[in-house]
Chains A and B, each alone.
Chain A
Amino acid sequence: MNIFLRELKANLKSLLIWGGIVILFVVMGMAKFSAYAGNPEMLAILDDLPPAVLAAFNLNAFNLTTITGFFGVMYTYFALLLSIAAAMWGSDIITKEERDKTVEFALALPVTRGRLVTAKTLATLVNCIGLLFITWGAALATAAQYQPDSEFYRFLALCMLALFIVQMIFLAVGIFLGCAMRRYKQAGSLAVSLLLGTYFLFIISGLSEHLDFLKYFSPFHYFDAGVMLRESRLDMTSVGLSIGIVVVSMIGAYLTYARRDLYI
């Protein structure tokens, strides 16, 4: 409990900064939406764009003139933001002990390494949930002026659930990299590179049917906003796959951290 509380306190600032970024992003996004809202000419312009461009920006599944459709496009960027935060928090909370050389203090105390990982994981989990609620709150607050229908709220809630799962994937991967890599400086950048890599796979997989198989390698594709909007549910295979990634990463994290030499 003591490690958990200390970490929460130490990470509060980072949560607030990320919260600020997300709120700014939502406000700017919604400001753009005011240009699209109920504007059929915009649709005509979009229809004239080449299909590949639309695919790249994930624009083809949505009617951008409705708040629901617009949010569907925004979803991908939320996923990107929130998962970057999760991956960085995850790797950082483990590696910072070695970076700041506090690990010698932290693990000379009568704690198991497993307990340290658990407490830190829970602290970052709270941060992720906090950021998710900030995102949710900001979306609700800015969308209110367009009097969205109940479909929007349902879709938003589903998106938040999907975002949560994507956060968990990258949090777990971040924690795993933080635990596994002795060269702590590279854990954070590797986590984010991996994340951006899978994001580009997601974009590429949308460009051509031949590249469709790539989508299994990208958590961003697991919960496609277009599918969620049409079917109002999460893809269960993807949920299963996500849980699998989280479980394997966390097992890997505990095992490697317990067995490796600390870098002092």
Chain B
Amino acid sequence: MSIIEASHLTKTYGKARGIIDVSFQVAEGEIFGFIGPNGAGKSTTIRLFLSLIYPTSGSATIFGKDCIKYGPELRQEIGYLPSDVFYYEGMKVIDLLTYSASFYNRDCTKRLHELAGIMELDLHRRIDDLSYGNKKKVGIVQGLLHQPKLLFLDEPTAGLDPLMQRKFFQLIRQENQRGVTVFFSSHILGEVQRLCSRVGIIKEGRIAEIADILTLQQNNYKRISVAGDNLDPAYFDMPGVSNLEHNNGTVHFFYKGDINTIMRKIGGITLSDVTIEEPTLEEIFMHYYE
């Protein structure tokens, strides 16, 4: 069963674009990466799932239930870490976390302290006095303390130092092993690549591609570099070739298509060196945005 299902979700703000016709599904136990640059509509999509805002058209279900009609009930099982965390003034960390825990129909005390221990969070400081990174830690504990079955993470690592990022990823992996489904929005491709099994790429409000990370890397593109004397880049200008560059006697390009075609082409000239690699997710991503 799909845990998240978006069908033709569209959100416009007056004339301004939010997202347009976004459809995808996230299966149970999956870590789904949602990538796109700032302003592509990542947060808008998540806020629609949490019914903080309502779609202009289309619909979304979570655990098979409409996320507006059953919003409060669904949110019992949803953890949310927003990209920027804001909490009430004048509260201590522990007050805020207990307040948050009081909304869930289960006892969260034990998990709350466990998580605070893992994230090295000082529970007795005032939230106002915390640094950005420490506020983010409060957000992480707050989003996980009720042991949700579904996590929405919106650019979760911003503000965390590398050590904390690693702990955070460990935590998310552990949650995932418990069966928690994770929706991970980010513009940092490295972390998506490390964590996610499948990704959706969003571009200017529309889904550009949804694929397994492996398929995305393997089946589509090859990054090819050839080196030799007097190479003419124009020689490689053929269908399927993109990002053709030439420097220091080496020609770099991406190729998508029948691998035999390009091999014959390469075989037709004399070379001193050739490398054929999987492109990084970053390069694939850049490709979608050109």
Question: What is the interface of chain A, defined by CB distance below 8 A to chain B?
Answer: 2, 6, 10, 100-105, 107-112, 115, 259, 261-262, 264
CB contact under 8 A between A105 and B87, given known A261-B54, A262-B52, A262-B53: yes
How far in angstroms is the closest Cβ of chain B from A100? 6
CB contact under 8 A between A264 and B47, given known A100-B89, A111-B72: yes
For chain A, what secondary structure do more than half of its interface residues adopt (helix, strand, loop), or is it mixed? loop
Q: Are A2 and B72 in contact (CB under 8 A)?
A: no
Can you list 16 pairs linking A and B with CB atoms under 8 Å apart?
Answer: A2-B103, A10-B89, A102-B86, A102-B88, A104-B47, A104-B82, A105-B86, A105-B87, A108-B50, A110-B72, A111-B75, A112-B72, A115-B72, A261-B52, A264-B52, A264-B53
Which residue of the partner chain B has the closest CB to A259? B54
- Residues of chain B lying within 8 A (CB to CB) of residue A108: 50, 52, 75, 78, 80, 82
Q: Which of B72, B74, B76 has the most CB of A within 10 A?
A: B72
- Residues of chain B lying within 8 A (CB to CB) of residue A264: 47, 52-53
The 9 A-B pairs of least Cβ separation, nearest first, read A101-B86, A261-B53, A110-B75, A108-B80, A110-B76, A2-B102, A109-B103, A112-B72, A262-B52
With A108-B78, A261-B53 already in contact, 12 other A-B pairs whose C-beta atoms are closer than 8 Å: A2-B99, A2-B102, A102-B87, A104-B47, A104-B52, A104-B82, A105-B142, A108-B50, A108-B82, A110-B72, A110-B75, A262-B53
How far in angstroms is the closest Cβ of chain A from B197? 25
Residue B288, interface by CB 8 Å = no
Contact for A100 among B53, B72, B88, B102, CB less than 8 A: B88
Q: Looking at chain B, what size class is its interface with the partner chain?
A: 20 to 34
Residue B100, interface by CB 8 Å = yes
Residue B90, interface by CB 8 Å = yes
- Residues of chain A lying within 8 A (CB to CB) of residue B90: 10
Residue B209, interface by CB 8 Å = no
Residue B191, interface by CB 8 Å = no
Residue B84, interface by CB 8 Å = yes
- Residues of chain B lying within 8 A (CB to CB) of residue A6: 88, 99
Chain B positions 81-118 with a Cβ under 8 Å from a chain A Cβ = 82, 84-90, 99-100, 102-104
Residue B277, interface by CB 8 Å = no
Residue B21, interface by CB 8 Å = no
How far in angstroms is the closest Cβ of chain B from A17? 15
